[in-house]
Amino acid sequence: MQRARLVVIGNGMAGIKTVEELVKIAPDLYGITVFGAEPQPNYNRILLSPVLAGEQTFDEIVLNDRGWYATHGIHLHTGKEVTSIDRKRRTVTAADGTYADYDRLLIATGSTPFILPIPGIDLEGVIGYRDIADTERMIAAAQNHRHAVVIGGGLLGLEAANGLNARGMDVTVLHLMDTLMERQLDAVAGRLLQTALEARGIRFIMGANTAAIRGDEHGHVSAVALADDTELAAELVVMAVGIRPNTHLAESAGLRCARGIVVNDTLQTFDPRIYAVGECVNHRGTAYGLVAPLFEMARVAANHLAEFGTQRYSGSVTATKLKVTGIDLYSAGDFHGDDSSETIVLSDAANGVYKKLVIKDERLQGSVLYGDTTDGAWYFRLMREGRSIADIRGRLMFGERNLGDTGHLGQSQAASMADSMEVCGCNGVSKGTICAAIKTHKLITLDEVRKHTKASASCGSCTGLVEQILMATAGADYSATPRTKPLCVCTERTHAEVKQAIKAQHLLTIADTQRFLEWRTPNGCATCRPALNYYLQTTWPREAQDDPQSRYINERAHANIQKDGTFSVIPRMWGGTTSAHELRKIADVVDKYQIPTVKVTGGQRIDLLGVKKADLPGVWRDLDMPSGHAYAKALRTVKTCVGAEWCRFGVQDSTQLGIDLERALWRMYAPHKVKIAVSGCPRNCAESGIKDVGIIGVESGWEIYVAGNGGIKTEVAQFFAKVTHAAEVLEHAGAFLQLYREEGHYLERTVHFVGRAGLDYCKAQVVSDAANRRALYSRLRFAVDGELDPWTARANGAAAHEYASVTA
């Protein structure tokens, strides 16, 4: 069968990213032809600035060499500018007559530097800053000439000025506005930047209105004249006043353009056979000039070209970083703010540090960081996720490190880390390994780094650090992850969308859910199936079918798998209490099944380790104690202290309340594990301060805290409510947990759930609204009362095939 023909116009960053994504997911669908006006293969345009500054060579910034095109059977025409598109005959033709027929066409022509309409722009030595040819001309000029004038004090202009300055030229920057990079920086940061660049010897004329460019008798530029008649000597003039989407080809083909080729959310132009991505595009009224959004577009376009049709591009939030070595600058979002927003500013002039955060409705709207950009990626993440910052507001300015991240010794200055230092503690990945992978495999997104190195793929607490390393190594922040994350690679849907569909459509099985939501894979993967199974169970308790094959082995076998393939058994000990009778049974079981290790856990109960899988049903039968669910995303332990019954300080009966809570809430499945503790007085011997629900007895009743976590990253629980009676504790705790069960994303612990939903929201749902609290609690009761003890059932022969092997 003849393959469909895809022609790509533009061998730049967005076009080739689309092709890369496409051949990854649909390698055989198209015969691909690429036209590029530049003679070089595809390179990383962002890194032209380090090339100009002499920090990198062209070879180092090539993204795909000719071999890559050959390997994928892609026909590459370099140095050939396409001059016409015939949409009726579906043919494109280049200036030299080369032509290609297409079934689908992808336009990715980028943009062109905007050239001021003033006299003298045609003189030799007047250039824009866009490609490697421009860069080489600047490098050559720096060898032969002395004076350079850069018109425009934006990102490109300053990177050009810095590079030329580093190559020994006398550089003057002319800027129309009063402060530099006014579209990315506020006035304070702009001035700090100006001072730092002046210290390197670059001169600035602000409020400068360029009137004309003068030339010598050979037609070469010699000076720049300002409106106030000042004249500046110049043998090189770099015009960096902005970019224009490169649309003339598309326009001449009759495609609708308006400050960019107009595309819809699937990156199609008005001719559905023709797609467009990159800087040449106008999507929902915005033309982007940074790589991160273009790469998001590329992924969506590839998805549609591959005929999956499951993704949509809905616009991007962007962040900017200036690539001038030695100057740390980061800006994202709306950093000006307005009447309805508030700002937090930190200004430490002595150390050259300035930070400004703009907050609206308890969400971060924008940020400007100067001098210390360590937390840029973190702020960007907070912004993109739209997470409520109410709970961390007081510490927000001091960065992620100061939120209590003890896991990494406060080390998050990616740049200053030694290569041997460990970044990801879960998977033992060092900084050097990550850098090497980024370089060898030319990785550009966080997801790719995760796939190749496993760094930040487990607990995720080092995500920020990995993003920074990516930024530092790959040259710029183009690692932006999509704003709303799909549940897994099998779908475009987010957790919220999946839950919504399950509820609205009354879906009861995984297969129906996948069918309804148009899953890309026949039966999902190890990430989505457990999540779907959980959502079905909590949305339709006693109704949705449980699918054991979609549960992780621990929950399928009801015991915790060990590194050697044996299992561990932890029975319930209500509130950490036990008896001679239970201890005797445990001792007998240990002897009978020759269990190698017996250990007291950190959760106040006893663990039998190294049980053979085939022995599990027998162990449970002989123990005759309920499951401790130590293997499940479910209620784990309720730790208690001795409390008022024995302790000389105790003011409340914490042991009894703990037992009551555990008896009421056990068999409760949740998005992640749930741990509770009850202490009898504020000395807090049960460590209630780091539990999902922590309760502390006080003279007049009980204080309830939520969203603590004692794990990977210690998080102190936050005050939730104060009540008088034990029964009220049960209802409040139960209702809070039901809210978490219903609204939490699978594998999100309470601390992350509350961080996302907002503590105030949870209080409004549970504490101040008594009717809603009762409704939540009764939904919890309905679900939990329908669950049986899994061990009893299996001791009596249920799911026997799970534990027995087959024999010949």
Partner 1 sequence: MNARPSQSLEQRVNWIDICALEEIPRLGARVFARATGNIAIFRNADDEVFALDDRCPHRGGPLSQGIVFGRHVACPLHNWQIGLWDGKATAPDVGCTAVYAVHVDAGRVYLDLTPTDA
What minimum distance in Å lies between the beta carbon of 19 and ligand FAD?
Answer: 11
CA-nearest of 463, 457, 495 to 381 is: 463
Among residues 557, 686, 737, 784, which is the contact residue for partner 1, using CB under 8 A? 557
State which residue, 570 or 737, has the beta carbon closest to ligand SRM: 570
**Cα–Cα dist 467/465, whole Å:** 5
Is residue 209 left, alpha or beta, with left meaning phi > 0 and alpha meaning psi from -120 to 50? beta
Residues 428, 432, 438: CA angle, nearest 5 degrees: 105
CA-nearest of 3, 6, 4 to 92 is: 6
Among residues 274, 294, 470, 735, which is the contact residue for ligand FAD, using CB under 6 A? 294
Check binding of 706 to ligand FAD (CB under 6 A). Answer: no
Token couple for 194: 């100006």
What minimum distance in Å lies between the beta carbon of 654 and ligand SRM?
Answer: 15
How many Å separate Cα 646 from the centre of its chain? 50
Q: Which does 81 bind (CB under 5 to 8 A by kind): ligand FAD, ligand SRM, partner 1, none?
A: ligand FAD
Check binding of 806 to partner 1 (CB under 8 A). Answer: yes
What letter does residue 392 receive in the DSSP assignment?
G
How many chain residues touch ligand FAD (CB under 6 A)? Answer: 37
* Interaction residues for ligand SRM, span 739-798 (CB under 6 A): 749
Among residues 145, 283, 675, 732, which is the contact residue for ligand SRM, using CB under 6 A? 675
- What are the Cα distances from residue 701, in Å, to 10, 393, 704? 70, 30, 10
Binding mask 403-432 for partner 1 (x = CB under 8 A): ------------------------------
What minimum distance in Å lies between the beta carbon of 248 and partner 1?
Answer: 42
Check binding of 525 to partner 1 (CB under 8 A). Answer: yes
Among residues 495, 529, 675, 749, which is the contact residue for partner 1, using CB under 8 A? 529
CA-nearest of 490, 540, 496 to 519 is: 490
| Residue 142 near residue 107 (C-beta atoms within 8 A) | no
Is residue 172 left, alpha or beta, with left meaning phi > 0 and alpha meaning psi from -120 to 50? beta
Among residues 110, 530, 650, 658, which is the contact residue for partner 1, using CB under 8 A? 530
Token couple for 669: 């499945």
What minimum distance in Å lies between the beta carbon of 282 and ligand FAD?
Answer: 12
State which residue, 266 or 427, has the beta carbon closest to partner 1: 427
State which residue, 425 or 486, has the beta carbon closest to ligand SRM: 425
Check binding of 175 to ligand SRM (CB under 6 A). Answer: no
Check binding of 732 to ligand SRM (CB under 6 A). Answer: no
Q: Which residue has the tokens 């050239």?
A: 115
CA-nearest of 155, 103, 109, 81 to 14 is: 109
Piece of 29-37, 337-345, 537-545, 679-687 that binds ligand FAD (CB under 6 A): 29-37
| Residue 434 near residue 469 (C-beta atoms within 8 A) | yes
Among residues 154, 289, 626, 628, which is the contact residue for ligand FAD, using CB under 6 A? 289
Check binding of 426 to ligand SRM (CB under 6 A). Answer: no
What letter does residue 118 receive in the DSSP assignment?
-
State which residue, 90 or 673, has the beta carbon closest to ligand SRM: 673
Binding mask 598-637 for ligand SRM (x = CB under 6 A): -x-xxx-x-x----------------------x-----xx
Check binding of 478 to ligand FAD (CB under 6 A). Answer: yes
**Cα–Cα dist 402/544, whole Å:** 43
Token couple for 370: 């100067």
Token couple for 17: 């990213």
Binding mask 450-469 for partner 1 (x = CB under 8 A): -xxx----------------
What minimum distance in Å lies between the beta carbon of 642 and ligand SRM?
Answer: 17
CA-nearest of 255, 281, 256 to 266 is: 281
Among residues 215, 315, 711, 758, which is the contact residue for ligand SRM, using CB under 6 A? 711
Q: How is 53-77 classified by DSSP, letter by letter?
A: TTSS-HHHHBSS-HHHHHHTT-EEE
* Interaction residues for ligand FAD, span 86-125 (CB under 6 A): 108-110
Cα dihedral sign, 151-156-158-162:
negative
What minimum distance in Å lies between the beta carbon of 523 and partner 1?
Answer: 5
**Cα–Cα dist 1/4, whole Å:** 9
| Residue 18 near residue 298 (C-beta atoms within 8 A) | yes
What minimum distance in Å lies between the beta carbon of 621 and partner 1?
Answer: 21
Check binding of 669 to ligand FAD (CB under 6 A). Answer: no
Among residues 199, 350, 418, 526, which is the contact residue for partner 1, using CB under 8 A? 526
Check binding of 15 to ligand FAD (CB under 6 A). Answer: yes
Check binding of 805 to partner 1 (CB under 8 A). Answer: yes
State which residue, 771 or 808, has the beta carbon closest to partner 1: 808
What minimum distance in Å lies between the beta carbon of 629 and partner 1?
Answer: 18
**Cα–Cα dist 581/587, whole Å:** 10
Among residues 144, 565, 581, 771, which is the contact residue for partner 1, using CB under 8 A? 565
Piece of 45-53, 504-512, 657-665, 698-706 that binds ligand FAD (CB under 6 A): 45-53
What minimum distance in Å lies between the beta carbon of 662 and ligand SRM?
Answer: 12
What minimum distance in Å lies between the beta carbon of 452 and partner 1?
Answer: 5
Cα dihedral sign, 184-188-193-194:
positive
Catalogue the E-assigned strands of 578-733.
Answer: 597-600, 606-611, 635-640, 674-679, 693-698, 701-706, 718-723
* Interaction residues for partner 1, span 772-801 (CB under 8 A): 801
Q: Which does 38 bind (CB under 5 to 8 A by kind): ligand SRM, partner 1, ligand FAD, none?
A: ligand FAD
**Cα–Cα dist 513/525, whole Å:** 14
Binding mask 711-730 for ligand FAD (x = CB under 6 A): --------------------
What minimum distance in Å lies between the beta carbon of 19 and partner 1?
Answer: 20
The H or E element containing residue 112 is strand 111-113
- What are the Cα distances from residue 494, in Å, to 448, 482, 490, 705? 19, 11, 11, 29
What minimum distance in Å lies between the beta carbon of 458 and partner 1?
Answer: 9
Is residue 598 left, alpha or beta, with left meaning phi > 0 and alpha meaning psi from -120 to 50? beta
CA-nearest of 185, 322, 314, 157 to 243 is: 157
Q: Which residue has the tokens 């150390």?
A: 351
**Cα–Cα dist 33/88, whole Å:** 19
Binding mask 557-576 for ligand SRM (x = CB under 6 A): ---x-x-----x-x------
State which residue, 13 or 22, has the beta carbon closest to ligand FAD: 13
- Torsion, CA 184, CA 189, CA 191, CA 195, rounded to 10: -110
What minimum distance in Å lies between the beta carbon of 308 and ligand FAD?
Answer: 22
Site residues, ligand SRM (CB under 6 A): 560, 562, 568, 570, 599, 601-603, 605, 607, 630, 636-637, 673, 675, 709-712, 749
Site residues, partner 1 (CB under 8 A): 451-453, 521-526, 529-530, 548-550, 552-553, 557, 561, 563, 565, 801, 805-808
